[in-house]
């Protein structure tokens, strides 16, 4: 009797369900749509969160490595979460990298290059967008060419040129002035792309703003500084961040023109490259091996651990800066950057 009751109930329920939601095509539609959108959002979340995890994975790994105690190396139980937290790795890596001094050099270099590049590319971008002068088409074509021509193509002639710069007898090779010179003459890291970006951006700003200022008697320089630049914050933020990051992570320009010739000059990236090629010697030179027992320092994982810690130390300043500006980057930089003309 009981059983029958339950079966009846289930039968009735399903009959109702069928009548309500499945019997005709019309009634089926909402259910199908709901399932579809549920499926779509599951796929979407899986994809986005999964990929976000793939991206962040090496970072997590590095942080986990940096925070473990070297004595945990021989402990098979420790993979992700250290048994004992310690900053000993960080201390060693700081010494190996000569961190604070190199950090200061890197910061100064990146900041100066960013400012110079920002000034030059925005000026050229504005001239191309609004100031019609004869030959502006040719200038634009050359800008596109500078994007396509790889920096290695002109490396050798440039080096010969710099050895005796413009016949003045000064040898610029090995001094950071080369990098400043590149940034100040629109030949810095991917400068062509930024000129293009600024051109697109300034074209998107309504011309009426400019005309109003011009009628009030401002000259193009004043218009540029007082009207156009405040309206171009998006492009400015984007250019500054990308130039700064690319200069920070740059090994090509810095290595070829400066630190391959002058050994004492290093940015964090070139230093990192240098020590990763012979980490053992670097650790020995830093004189920190005595701090650890034989079982730790002879472990091949030990050098790798120090390398990883050094790697995250080179990236941490960038990550902090990125976190600070990320909100502005998205709301002003990306979404209103006028990347689309």
Partner 1 sequence: MKNKTKQIKYYVGEDLHKKKTKIENTIDNLKIKYNKVEEQLNLMFDKHKDGFSKRIQRKIVKLSTNLTKLDVTIKRNIANLDKLNNGELEKLSPIENFKHWFSHVEYRKQTMIWGFIFIIPWVLGMAILFIPSVIETLFWSFSNANLTPDGMQTSFVGIENFKYLFTEYVIDGNNVFSVSLLTFIEGLIIDLPIIIIFSILIAVLLNKKFRGHTVIKAIFFVPVIYNLAVITETLTGTFGQHFAETMQGDITFVNQITGFFMQIGIGDSLLEIVLGAVDRIFTIVNLSGIQILIFVAAIQSIPNHLYEAAEIEGATKYEIFWKITIPMITPMILTAAVYTVVDSFTRSPITRFLQTSVANGNYGLAAAISISYFVINLVIVGIVFMLFKGKVFYHDEK
Q: Among 171, 251, 260, 278, which residue sits at the site for partner 1 (rule: CB under 8 A)?
A: 251
Under DSSP, the state recorded for 337 is S
Sole window of 17-25, 59-67, 107-115, 289-297 interacting with partner 1 (rule: CB under 8 A): 59-67
Residue 126 makes contact with partner 1 by CB under 8 A: yes
Q: Which is nearer to partner 1, 12 or 50 (CB)?
A: 50
Q: Cβ 240 to partner 1, closest distance in Å?
A: 13
Q: Which is nearer to partner 1, 5 or 230 (CB)?
A: 230
Residue 123 makes contact with partner 1 by CB under 8 A: yes
Q: Among 38, 108, 139, 324, which residue sits at the site for partner 1 (rule: CB under 8 A)?
A: 139
Q: Which of residues 195-214 bind partner 1 (CB under 8 A)?
A: 195
Q: Which is nearer to partner 1, 146 or 175 (CB)?
A: 146
CB atoms within 10 A of CB 244: 22
3-state secondary structure of 78: coil
Q: Is 170 left (phi over 0), alpha (psi -120 to 50) or beta?
A: beta
Q: Where are the alpha helices (DSSP H) in the chain?
A: 2-17, 25-66, 88-97, 99-129, 136-148, 155-163, 177-184, 191-204, 207-215, 220-223, 229-231, 233-249, 252-253, 268-277, 279-286, 294-297, 300-328
Q: Which residues have a Cβ under 8 Å from the Cβ of 3 and sit 6 or more positions away?
A: none
Residue 157 makes contact with partner 1 by CB under 8 A: yes
Task: Fill in the per-residue mask, 213 to 242: x = in contact with partner 1 (CB under 8 A), - = not in contact.
Answer: ------xxx--x-----------------x
CA 140/CA 133 separation, integer angstroms? 12
CA 234/CA 201 separation, integer angstroms? 9
Task: Fill in the per-residue mask, 158 to 197: x = in contact with partner 1 (CB under 8 A), - = not in contact.
Answer: x-xx----x--------------xx-xxxx-----x-x--
């Amino acid at each position: 009797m009981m059983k029958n009751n339950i079966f009846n109930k289930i039968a009735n329920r399903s009959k109702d369900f069928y009548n309500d939601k499945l019997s005709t095509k019309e009634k089926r539609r909402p259910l199908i749509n709901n399932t579809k959108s549920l499926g779509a959002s599951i796929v979407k979340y899986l994809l986005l969160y999964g990929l976000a995890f793939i991206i962040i994975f090496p970072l997590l790994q590095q942080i986990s490595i940096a925070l473990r105690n070297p004595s945990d190396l021989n402990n098979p139980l420790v993979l992700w979460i250290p048994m004992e937290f310690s900053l000993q790795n960080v201390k060693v890596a700081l010494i190996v990298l000569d961190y604070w001094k190199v950090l200061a050099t890197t910061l100064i270099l990146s900041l100066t290059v960013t400012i110079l590049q920002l000034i030059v590319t925005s000026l050229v971008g504005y001239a191309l967008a609004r100031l019609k002068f004869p030959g502006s088409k040719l200038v634009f074509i050359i800008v596109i060419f500078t994007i396509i021509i790889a920096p290695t193509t002109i490396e050798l002639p440039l080096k010969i040129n710099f050895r005796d710069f413009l016949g003045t007898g000064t040898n610029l090779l090995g001094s950071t002035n080369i990098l400043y010179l590149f940034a100040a003459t629109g030949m810095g890291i991917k400068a062509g792309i930024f000129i293009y970006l600024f051109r697109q951006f300034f074209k998107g700003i309504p011309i009426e703003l400019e005309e109003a200022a011009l009628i009030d008697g401002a000259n193009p320089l004043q218009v540029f500084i007082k009207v156009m630049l405040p309206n171009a914050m998006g492009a400015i933020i984007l250019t500054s961040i990308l130039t700064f990051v690319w200069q920070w992570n740059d090994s090509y320009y810095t290595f070829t023109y400066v630190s391959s010739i002058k050994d004492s000059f290093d940015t964090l990236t070139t230093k990192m490259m240098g020590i990763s090629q012979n980490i053992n010697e670097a650790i020995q030179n830093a004189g920190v091996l005595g701090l650890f027992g034989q079982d730790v320092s002879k472990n091949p994982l030990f050098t790798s651990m120090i390398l990883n810690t050094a790697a995250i130390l080179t990236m941490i300043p960038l990550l902090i800066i990125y976190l600070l500006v990320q909100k502005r980057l998205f709301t002003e930089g990306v979404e209103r950057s006028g990347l689309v003309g």
